[in-house]
Chains A and B, each alone.
Chain A
Amino acid sequence: MEATKPAQRTLKVRIARGTEDGNFTTYEVPWRENQTVLDVVTEVQRRIEPTLSYRFACRVGVCGSCAMTVNGKPRWTCRTHVSRVEEDGVIVIEPLRNMPRIKDLVVDMSEFFDKWKKAGSTFVGTATRHEPPAAVSPTSKKRKMADAAIECINCGVCYASCDVVAWDKEYLGPAALNRAWTLFNDERHADPKDVLKKATSGSGCNSCHTQGNCMTHCPVSLSPTGSIAGLKKNALLQFLKGGD
């Protein structure tokens, strides 16, 4: 009597290919109890489709390079277990939203980084090398606020999830403004007023409508929503007090 081998369970992976919207190719990979979406993408590229383009680096959730849209939501694929997101044995993988697509799952992040600079995130020191290091108390109110936002590694997930970024090309976006907030609260920075000026210039913090998509999707649980609210308040006070 021959024992029949049970059919290998597979996972269907629909991946956005090319440069135009709507072009998907479906691949099948073996179902494994413990695999991440990045594992799956890598398997597809190495064993099935060598022309698939995608980004990754550390594969352990510290660099932010592997961010993609998985089943509609922007996520770090190395930190997304397939079992958590698969729907009826299918996962759909697309590039991050709101950034121009280069190919397949790779997007052009230049504008993201340009806005990072535009929002007023360049530190300017006030001391020289001859002075002792600044004694910044980690428990001071400002430092706590800066620390709560400082862990951003520019993965772009918040930017990809933000509807205002999608609707308003000039909007600086949650990551850039979150960073500006950390600089505004840095007591060593030479010109916090200038940070507010830059953060409100063009389509800045005042364009945020507090939808909170950024806060909801940030893989390190940061809250650009909160940071931007802080920028709005301080900018308003500065404006009312007769600033520019």
Chain B
Amino acid sequence: MEQRLFALQRLSAMAMAPFVLVHLGIILYAVRGGLTAAEILARTQGSLFWIPFYSLFVISVAVHVPIGLRNILIEWARLSRGAASVCCFAFGLLLLSMGLRAVAAVGGLLS
């Protein structure tokens, strides 16, 4: 189990490096002159690039963040490995659902 989590953590990290670079880039570009919902949505709605991009980003995040948090819970909060796994798995599901909902929202896929 631990080896599997370790592998997933490292692989999701590698997948995310380009995502983070692009995300930072678009943030630095978009914040100039103020941000409006219309601006954001004009870029993302129906986009054949941004929708898959952010979907993959959300999935990697939903894998990477809980595994990292699990280490913190075990080492600093002194939870047992089992308890930490349960908490973090739940948090991962939360991130996945909220994240994909957000992608659907800005992608104009549901409204």
Contact pattern, A 156-182, Cβ under 8 Å of B = 1, otherwise 0: 000000001001100000000000000
SS of B interface (majority): helix
Give the interface residue-count category, chain B: 10 to 19
Q: How many positions in chain A have a CB within 8 Å of any CB in the partner chain?
A: 14
Q: How far is the CA of A206 from the CA of B74 in the complex (A)?
A: 14
Which chain B residues border A235 with CB–CB below 8 Å?
A: 3
Q: Are B75 and A164 in contact (CB under 8 A)?
A: yes
CB contacts under 8 Å to A, within B56-85, are: 71, 74-76, 78
B87 to chain A, nearest CB (A): 17
Q: A113 an interface residue at 8 Å Cβ cutoff?
A: no
CB contacts under 8 Å to A, within B1-30, are: 2-4, 6-7, 10
Q: Which of A164, A167, A168, A206 contacts B6 (CB 8 A)?
A: A206
A186 to chain B, nearest CB (A): 23
SS of A interface (majority): helix
Of all chain A residues, which has the CB nearest B10?
A: A236
Q: Are A206 and B3 in contact (CB under 8 A)?
A: yes
Q: Are A236 and B2 in contact (CB under 8 A)?
A: no
Of all chain B residues, which has the CB nearest A167?
A: B75
Which chain B residues border A207 with CB–CB below 8 Å?
A: 2, 71
Contacts A200-B2, A203-B2 given; does A167 touch B7 at CB 8 Å: no
CB contacts under 8 Å to B, within A197-244, are: 200, 203-204, 206-207, 209, 232, 235-236, 239-240
